[in-house]
Chains A and B, each alone.
Chain A
Amino acid sequence: MNRFAISEVVFEIAPLREQLLGHQAGAYASFEGWVRDHNEGRAVQGLFYESYRALADTEGQAIINQALQRFAITGAACVHRTGELALGDLAVWVGVSAGHRGPAFDACRWIIDEVKTRVPLWKRERYAQGPATWLHPDPEP
């Protein structure tokens, strides 16, 4: 099973979550990133996400595999949208199951942090005012 996926279309969380749940997993932590109506003080009208698909798949899968090594968890998965997204659309989902809540939270946060840092995905924001802009943030210190 691929535990990391790029989706060019709207995807459902429910079946992804189902796959993570089992009788051994007492804890499930998830994260969802949604398209906000603002970013750094500017009114946002929509987003476009582009990926380098082959490398994104490889790197995303590597992150999940590393999370399964680093944390006491039973399962982890992540799906990231590409293409045009409107306000309120789901951009990314991360789900983690574990025996206990500490590792579930820690791994979930680690995965989204790594995805934002390492996976070749780029966001272009459309604003109420001014030209659309690709975001190429400096790495966080």
Chain B
Amino acid sequence: MADQDIKKARRHVTQNEALIFERSAPGKDSFRLPPLDVPAVDPAVVLGAGAVRGGIEGFPEVSEIEVVRHFTRLSTWNYGVDTGAYLLGSCTMKYNPKINEVVARLEGIANAHPLQPEELSQGCLRVMQRLAECLLEITGMDAITLQPAAGAHGELTGLLLVRAYLESKGNPRRRVLIPDSAHGTNPASAMQVGYQTQSIASNARGTVDLAMLDRAMNEDVAALMLTNPNTLGVFEDQIAEIAAMVHARGGLVYMDGANMNALVGVSRPGDFGVDVLHLNLHKTFSTPHGGGGPGAGPVAVKKNLEPFLPVPRVVEKPDGALALDYNQPQSIGRVRAFYGNYGMLVRALAYILANGRDGLRQSTEDAVLNSAYLRKGLEGHYELPYSSPTLHECVFSDKRQARHGVRTGDIAKRLIDYGFHPYTVSFPLIVPGALMIEPTESESKQELDLLIDALQSIAREAEQEPELVLRAPHSTRVGRLDEVQAARKPILRWKPANGG
């Protein structure tokens, strides 16, 4: 399809911009502080000459307007949720409400020091307490820590809890079972907790193969790490049997909550046998992803694991005031300094309060409806490797397009020309050439119809003019980047021309 026939996007002039170091010139005035109101000191005298450094070689010297233009121009090369549909499967790129950015910056919150006296931090602690209560109700779990900084950090924390619990029972066990559809962080986290991982092949329906599990699940297995709905968007319909089997043999069920957006208000992990669960506030609860973080990965557990949660914990004193309790003899300790990515907790609570029970439920329904609508619109144009019913996302494969040499990565690049941020390409591993698409509840029918049009059109292009797709994107300021070269001889930082 020709440029001008693309409905959603058009090309427009944008600014080039060098590296900030290349803008620098010696002696340009930059940011200044108020005059010093105490006597100046000679660092060489105070610290010893050997301990003092001179000006930093190559460090930027630019004026304020150059900083502003530099980062403003850079920003225009990006695509965000505010730009349009951001289809990364498993990432839940939903709308980030603007009021959340306001409340996280309020004086009294944004400038609160983590170690200031508890009497002067009651508001901050109340927010943590209220968020904890909401998340426990939503998940059906008994206790929670807000300390982990992201999903993978939550996995590490959760598995440490599993291990501590099992140790307290006398045997930490040696292995963790992980379905082959799982995200890479799952095995990586298990390994960091000293567990060997064993992969469980999925069955024809894309879910855990009970027979397989039966064979693998024994007294040596600490836990089954399950993503539910799994990374195909399919709910583990045998979850009851799975949980029963794992529990019967003394193991625990860990749930990766990355896909909670399919369940909020509809189904609670605490009600279907999960012992440990991590949430991604930067997915399900709308905290902005920031171009790669910060996130927040609270871990919720059942009563029996509560004693092992990280310190400190927020507790209520007899007089109703809140305090931080460090006295938890069985605790695994700390997984992070202070209390977690607090600013993200504020935003997540704002999101929950604004939605309320009705809005949260409606969001889940819309997310699932959007995914179903999309799946319907693409069936027949792309291969659907698993026909099981899906919830918040659906995973196609490039099988048909591959016949013309067009792979999922090419389709993704071409989708950029159509004005969308592509879906997830390299995951889940059980689907060769996967197109993993998660629209979330934030997309309108109009945006989805444009997306369906676009992907149908690309499917046609793949047959009729594969070259067009293979050389995509054609509309971006830089074309396809040579990632091989980047990895072969890595250039990981700027160096002065003179090679300083």
Do A and B pair up? The answer is no
